[in-house]
Amino acid sequence: MLVIFGSSIKLLNYFEDDFSTCENCNQTGVTYRIVQKYYHVFWLPVFPLEKYTGMSCNNCNYSRDNIISENSATYEKISKTPIYLYSGLIIFILLILNVLFAVVMTT
């Protein structure tokens, strides 16, 4: 059986920050985006992987992923991982419970 799986990304949130400085043009005003990576099987999200913060400059459009800063840590903390990214895992657990329940009922 062919199983299609891989990882994908979901934009969780974005924050305009008028006080942060662009590392490319040194102007203030950047947009942070909080991105969640997740595993999918047949395009059904199974479980989430790491979160990361990307930034893009509102002035020069310079953009970079994987920002590590105090701001990005805060933004990642308040951007919760949506529960549906666990869909595959939840379905799998329910199937296991169903099988266990069936086994218990027949013995």
Residue 57 within binding range of Zn ion, rule CB under 5 A: yes
**Closest distance to Zn ion from the beta carbon of 13 (Å):** 21
- Among 12, 15, 22, 45, indicate the residue that binds Zn ion (CB under 5 A): 22
Q: How many residues bind Zn ion (CB under 5 A)?
A: 7
Q: Minimal CA–CA distance to 55: which of 16, 19, 12, 25?
A: 16
Q: What strands lie across the sheet with 63-64, from one edge to the other? A: 5-21, 28-41, 44-57, 63-64
Binding site for Zn ion (CB under 5 A): 22, 24-25, 57, 59-60, 62
